[in-house]
Each structure stands twice: as structure tokens, then as C-alpha cells.
């Protein structure tokens, strides 16, 4: 079985790979995340996941690279990670009482052959109305500052979420079902790693 490499420093993605029993090594990468204008949210996350996988592959001679990118989209506008607490408050105020979408692009790359497969997942999230005081207390935890859309559904912000339509794990940052499907296409069966 090939070695698996995760091209992400996200603790949420590491937790999800641990949850499905997939052993991996983290590869730290830095990529330019600027993109040409006019791309849809799905095209953006797929393009960035491919860029991240490619950057990790340059450090390896063999194995399978997994890379992902997640964004929150409301009314067609992409919300990435907030730059500071003020921007986090602005994002969270926009999301409350409304439905938004979470897109995650995933790429798997098989080395040395270089076979690259990508896909994306989209999940709808309904947030309840949240008071400014609650939002301020949440922002004070610093939790929203490293998350697309300024919230993490797997943490205390779960109390803001009224409903989810689609893959919950996608909202966390890695749609594990879709990942397992892509891995199977390059002959990596997740279940063979279970002990």
C-alpha cells in the first residue's frame, strides 16, 4: 500500500483522516492562492486543491498526495478566512439567519505516475439568528480566525447551525466519502488500512 501524504496543516483534516483510519504524513506547503477572476466557487476550490497537491508532489518521489481547499459562499460571494476579528464579525453577521454554501475541492495525486483526480462537494448550511454578544464571545475564542466563513461547525459554533443539507464532513473541511471514491479510482482502498 502506498504512503499517503496530506498537503494541509489543517487540524480538522488530520482529525478526519484519523477518523477513517487512513495513515498519513503531513507535507507543509505554501502556495499562491490568487486565481483568475470569473471562476465559480467549485472551480476555485478544485484549482487550489490541485495547486496544493502539485506543490506537495514536488517534494516527493512516490506515494499518494491528498489536498483540499474549502470556501464559504453566500449570495455568490466567496468568504475565505477572515483577516482579523472585525472581518470575522462582518462575515458572521452576514451568515446569520440565512443559508450559505460550503464548497470543498479535493485532489488526489498518484506518484510517480502523476495521475491526478479532482472533485468537489457542496453543502448547504442554515444558520440561526445570533446575537451580537454571542458572536463577540465566539470571536473572543479566536476559533473563527483560521476558518473559511469565520466559523467551525465542529466546535462551539455548532450551536449557531440550525441545519445542514449534504455532507457534514465537507463543512468541517474534507468530504471523506468523496475522498474515498477518488482514492479507490487510483487503487487505494481506505478499508485496507483498517486494523
Could you list the pLDDT tens digit for every one of the 195 residues in the chain? 889 999 998 999 999 999 999 999 999 999 988 888 899 999 999 999 999 999 999 999 999 999 999 999 999 899 988 999 999 999 999 999 999 999 999 999 999 887 999 999 999 999 999 999 999 999 999 999 989 899 999 999 999 999 999 999 999 999 999 999 999 999 999 999 888
pLDDT at position 146, please?
87
Active-site positions?
69
State the pTM of this model.
0.92
Cell triple for residue 71? 470556501
Radius of gyration of the chain measured on its C-alpha atoms? 17
User: How far apart are the C-alpha atoms of 167 and 171, rounded to whole Å?
Assistant: 7
Give the closest residue to 64 by CA, choosing from 106, 104, 114.
114
- The CATH class for the domain spanning 4-193 reads alpha beta
Distance CA 143, CA 1 (A): 36
Q: What is the pLDDT of residue 114?
A: 76
- Name the residue with cell 465566539: 138
The DSSP secondary structure of 43-81, one letter per residue, reads HHHHHHHHHHHHHHHTT-SSEEEEEEEEEEEETTEEE--
pLDDT of residue 33: 86
CA 97 to CA 90: how far, in whole Å?
A: 14
Instruction: Return the H-helix or E-strand segment holding 88.
Output: helix 85-95
So what's the pLDDT on residue 195?
80
- CA-nearest of 187, 135, 186, 133 to 160 is 135
Residue 88: per-residue pLDDT: 96
**Which of 38, 41, 110 shows the shortest CA–CA distance to 70?**
41
- pLDDT computed for residue 52 by the predictor: 97
Would you state the pLDDT for residue 34?
Answer: 87
Say what the pLDDT of residue 89 is.
Answer: 96
Return the pLDDT at 9.
Answer: 87
Amino acid at each position: 500500500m502506498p504512503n499517503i501524504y496530506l498537503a494541509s496543516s489543517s487540524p480538522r483534516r488530520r482529525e478526519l483522516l484519523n477518523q477513517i483510519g487512513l495513515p498519513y504524513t503531513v507535507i507543509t506547503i505554501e502556495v499562491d492562492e490568487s486565481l483568475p477572476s470569473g471562476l465559480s466557487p467549485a472551480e476555485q476550490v478544485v484549482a487550489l486543491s490541485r495547486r496544493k497537491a502539485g506543490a506537495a508532489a514536488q517534494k516527493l518521489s512516490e506515494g499518494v498526495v491528498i489536498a483540499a481547499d474549502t470556501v464559504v459562499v453566500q449570495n455568490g460571494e466567496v468568504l475565505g478566512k477572515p483577516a482579523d476579528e472585525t472581518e470575522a464579525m462582518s462575515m458572521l453577521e452576514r451568515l446569520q439567519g440565512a443559508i450559505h454554501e460550503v464548497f470543498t475541492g479535493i485532489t488526489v495525486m498518484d506518484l510517480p505516475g502523476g495521475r491526478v483526480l479532482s472533485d468537489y462537494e457542496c453543502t448547504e448550511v442554515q444558520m440561526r439568528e445570533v446575537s451580537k454578544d454571542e458572536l463577540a464571545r465566539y470571536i473572543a475564542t479566536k476559533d473563527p480566525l483560521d476558518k473559511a466563513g469565520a466559523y467551525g461547525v465542529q466546535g462551539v459554533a455548532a450551536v449557531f447551525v440550525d441545519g445542514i443539507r449534504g455532507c457534514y464532513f465537507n463543512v468541517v473541511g474534507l468530504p471523506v466519502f468523496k475522498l474515498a471514491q477518488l482514492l479507490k479510482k487510483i487503487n487505494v482502498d481506505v478499508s485496507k488500512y483498517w486494523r
